[in-house]
Structure 1
């Protein structure tokens, strides 16, 4: 049986990842800046930076350190090994071409949504979403579609861990409202996002489920609220998404 100490975090590893996270968030920094940001001694930060640099994970530019392109290699590797990426990519491209809007494939990991692939239609608008971005699942259509496929106990554990933070004034922040909406999503098979993640932007999301009925990801179409409304929002886009996700599910089952 593993001892209690075997489950304790390794402080030096945690410190290294805190530095990496801070370099990403601040887009680089010097030893003094990082030490102040993290509440660490300059000597500790310097030692970690030099270790990371020796392994090729950071680069020094003048007095500042930045993450290196090693992380790009890691990210591409992780994305490409996901079973959904190769199957979803052509359907995402096709949906973007048909709808002229922004289309995303999202997966769940550690209770967060991760954007693994996206395609832009001719009239798509820019939002804060990007490949690799981790987002609370309750804030957007693809995330709610994933949550709706999970058991209530799993949804509750995610809520307890991350809370229900608001991205806009329309974001669901009430537990009961979230669970009521998830039940509706289960019944109809797709989710709506009405300015819940970006003001002025609507989206529709549908889950991609495995043979057990659990979502391993979701597709979404997002666009300006003045275009994604009425029958386009409630009928046309759901029909397109459900057709695409069903095709992916069939290919997934026989891959």
Structure 2
């Protein structure tokens, strides 16, 4: 445990809990925020007032929401990530070519983090957005990353995060998950059959650095009816692997 964890700043912890709660609720009145956090309203109100003064929270009527200032901060951070800069045009191209939803993600603290999404002409709608954090075990996008991490890192993530179910198809048995990840590492791509979202199938490929470390992954998501046979899956697998390879080349030689 580091020194910061041993000596947390309580006021800052409270502020961060309020921000995270507003992220989930989107917009809510003071009484609801306080109830969710199990804090008294005066404490929550003081923190919300400070966040408003610094323009990180907006009050609309009786409800509070996060301001677009978070978008500015997040956009600056995202644009500093080489993976995003290298991958964006390739992700756009893949979405245009296939008509599907294509997602780019990196990983941090044992979670996937969505960096970018591109919608093709026939793409599905998902409740993910830039900055969404996703478990690594229950989507093709996450498994493509997880399957290419060092064994000790995989073990640490599973020990810490577990394998909670997203749908009845989620792999929740640790032995089966290790078999799945070994297969992904061997073949260089991942697949999920309604493991995170019902009615959706996805394929994904890892994006790796020159020394083999996995930086992220790119995935293609489609209704299961459009990925109903081996030929269709092979076509989409080739497409995401090609896109991942182009991104890797761009990162290496930029």
Q: SS state of the match for residue 178, structure 2? A: helix
Partner of 1:31: 30
- Following the alignment from structure 2 to structure 1, what is the Cα–Cα distance between the partners of residues 10 and 186? 46
**1:139-169: per-residue Cα shift (whole Å, max 9, x none)?**
1101100001101211111112211111111
- Following the alignment from structure 2 to structure 1, what is the Cα–Cα distance between the partners of residues 4 and 25? 33
Q: CA deviation at 1:27?
A: 2.0
Structure 2 CA distance for partners of 1:235 and 1:3, relative to 1, 3 Å: closer
Judge which range, 242-251 or 88-97, deviates more. 242-251
- Following the alignment from structure 2 to structure 1, what is the Cα–Cα distance between the partners of residues 4 and 153? 27
Q: How does 1:5-16 map to 2 (within 5 A)?
A: 7-16=6-15
Q: CA deviation at 1:138?
A: 0.7
Structure 2 CA distance for partners of 1:187 and 1:3, relative to 1, 3 Å: closer
Partner of 1:140: 139
- Following the alignment from structure 1 to structure 2, what is the Cα–Cα distance between the partners of residues 102 and 3? 40
Partner of 1:93: 92
Mind listing any 5+ residue stretches in structure 1 that lack a counterpart? none
- Following the alignment from structure 1 to structure 2, what is the Cα–Cα distance between the partners of residues 165 and 220? 21
Q: Is the 8 A contact 1:142 1:218 kept in 2?
A: yes
**1:166-213: per-residue Cα shift (whole Å, max 9, x none)?**
111101111111110000011110000111111111111000001221
Partner of 1:115: 114
Q: CA deviation at 1:242?
A: 1.6
Partner of 1:125: 124
Q: SS state of the match for residue 227, structure 2? A: coil
Structure 2 CA distance for partners of 1:197 and 1:3, relative to 1, 3 Å: closer
Instruction: Give the superposed CA RMSD.
Output: 1.7
Normalised to the residue count of structure 1, the TM-score between the two structures is 0.94
Partner of 2:195: 196
Partner of 1:248: 247
Mind listing any 5+ residue stretches in structure 2 that lack a counterpart? none
- Following the alignment from structure 2 to structure 1, what is the Cα–Cα distance between the partners of residues 37 and 5? 25
Number of positions where the alignment pairs a residue of Structure 1 with one of Structure 2: 254
**1:102-140: per-residue Cα shift (whole Å, max 9, x none)?**
111111111111111111111111122322211101111
Structure 2 CA distance for partners of 1:12 and 1:245, relative to 1, 3 Å: same
- Following the alignment from structure 2 to structure 1, what is the Cα–Cα distance between the partners of residues 200 and 32? 37
- Following the alignment from structure 2 to structure 1, what is the Cα–Cα distance between the partners of residues 48 and 101? 38
Q: Is the 8 A contact 1:204 1:233 kept in 2?
A: no
Q: How does 1:47-126 map to 2 (within 5 A)?
A: 47-126=46-125
Q: Is the 8 A contact 1:115 1:133 kept in 2?
A: yes
Normalised to the residue count of structure 2, the TM-score between the two structures is 0.94
Judge which range, 138-147 or 244-253, deviates more. 244-253
Q: How does 1:179-190 map to 2 (within 5 A)?
A: 179-190=178-189
